[in-house]
């Protein structure tokens, strides 16, 4: 359903209200203060760079390793049954975590995948390679009609068509853990800490599902999006009663507590280095690079591979915050001392914001929207951002990365 373009005024994304109006960039990496929940110290260094320094100089990783051993000893099954749920796509990070748990820590992982909107060929191949390297995997696929409508809603009302995938990415593991009576879940990294965001769980191995609405869903819950979808006529009341909606949300906190389910980050116990995860996954689980070369919007070949919608998630981030996939990769590589900041600035200015042309037609068809509607949504979020200004009818970035 394509609504009147003039109605595009409203967003459920509450992050804009808390962003500084004046854009500044980290003195060490290339992140700006427009990344939600990122803070800067008096030297102008972002919270993620401060954490990267702490990882190298202040964390007792031997003690963290002992904590991990003790946790695995507590949960390891005595009869060889599944004892830990590992969510992932077959990508480098989840493959690293699952393989480490199985072969180093002698756990019996049940791996789970919340399906992409539509797999790329290389994404599907990597998942199959991972499974064939010795893992059991359960894939969850949402009701296709509903999922497309939710994607369409999130695109307009959240400025992120990716969000229905995030729902399942977070919740699916909890549903499987509940069904199989498994008490331990292992995600990869604490993204808020690693990439700049909330430091609430800085020295803790796990989070509460109560944090999801604020940290992952832009301040508006699944139920809020559904309610608004009904109001604007994209969803029907029948859609709102679809049982798939329950899979977008975790089990109730009471049920999680009653079942004793715990979700942990592997990055709490292991000094998280995505580049090393890539080498590891390539060696042990058959992970393959992008055969088409670098991924659109960045300079790397081993990220943003799984899903045809991935590039639009990052492009919308560029509209809202002035940072795209290349910016994320540069930030990570600078913090791990793989490149200098000067090299990173060059890469950002060359690749950040590159339009994801490869799957554009598919993206429009998937959401059943026109190209005009697409660009109206882009304009909506550029207007709300602090990083864009329209000059003589043309959008210009107010303060590019320097």
Q: What is the pLDDT of residues 173-211, one digit of tens each?
A: 999 999 999 999 999 999 999 999 888 889 999 988 888
SS3 184: strand
Q: Is 90 exceeded by the pLDDT of residue 33?
A: yes
Q: What is the pLDDT of residues 358-397, one digit of tens each?
A: 999 999 999 999 999 999 999 999 999 999 999 998 999 9
Following DSSP, what letter does each residue of 353-392 receive, concatenated?
T---GGGHHHHHHHHT--HHHHHHHHHHHHHHSSSEEEET
Which DSSP helix (H) or strand (E) runs through 170? helix 163-180
Site of tokens 């000094």: 271
Give the pLDDT band of residue 6 (cuts 50, 70, 90). very low
Rounded to whole angstroms, how far apart are CA atoms 247 and 169? 10
Q: First CA to last CA across the chain, in angstroms? A: 42
């Amino acid at each position: 359903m394509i609504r009147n373009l003039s109605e595009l005024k409203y967003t459920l994304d509450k992050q804009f209200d808390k962003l500084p109006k004046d854009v500044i960039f980290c003195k060490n990496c290339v992140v700006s203060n427009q990344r939600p929940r990122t803070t800067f110290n008096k030297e102008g260094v972002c919270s993620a760079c401060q954490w990267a320094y702490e990882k190298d100089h202040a964390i007792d990783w031997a003690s963290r390793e002992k904590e991990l051993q003790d946790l695995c000893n507590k949960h390891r099954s005595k009869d060889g049954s599944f004892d830990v749920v590992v969510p992932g796509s077959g990508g480098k990070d989840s493959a690293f975590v699952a393989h480490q748990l199985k072969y180093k820590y002698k756990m019996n992982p049940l791996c789970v995948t919340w399906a992409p909107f539509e797999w790329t060929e290389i994404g599907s191949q990597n998942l199959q390679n991972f499974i064939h390297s010795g893992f059991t995997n359960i894939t969850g696929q949402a009701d296709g009609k509903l999922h497309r409508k939710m994607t369409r809603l999130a695109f307009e009302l959240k400025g992120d068509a990716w969000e229905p995938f995030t729902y399942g990415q977070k919740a699916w593991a909890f549903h499987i853990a509940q069904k199989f009576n498994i008490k331990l879940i292992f995600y990869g990294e604490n993204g808020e800490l690693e990439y700049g965001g909330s430091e609430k769980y800085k020295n803790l191995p796990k989070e509460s599902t109560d944090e999801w609405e604020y940290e992952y869903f832009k301040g508006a819950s699944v139920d809020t999006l559904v309610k608004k979808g009904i109001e604007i006529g994209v969803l029907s009341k029948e859609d709102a009663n679809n049982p798939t909606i329950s899979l977008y949300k975790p089990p109730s906190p009471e049920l999680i507590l009653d079942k004793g389910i715990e979700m942990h980050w592997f990055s709490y116990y292991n000094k998280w280095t995505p580049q090393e995860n890539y080498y590891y996954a390539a060696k042990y689980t058959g992970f393959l690079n992008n055969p088409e070369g670098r991924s659109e919007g960045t300079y790397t070949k081993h990220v943003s591979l799984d899903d045809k919608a991935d590039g639009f998630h990052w492009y919308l981030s560029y509209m809202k915050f002035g940072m795209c996939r290349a910016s994320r990769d540069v930030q990570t590589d600078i913090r791990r001392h793989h490149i200098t900041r000067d090299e990173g600035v060059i890469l950002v200015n060359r690749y950040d914001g590159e339009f994801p042309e490869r799957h554009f037609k598919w993206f429009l068809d998937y959401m059943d929207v026109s190209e005009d509607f697409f660009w109206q949504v882009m304009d909506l979020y550029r207007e709300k951002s602090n990083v864009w200004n329209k000059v003589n009818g043309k959008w210009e970035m107010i303060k590019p990365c320097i």
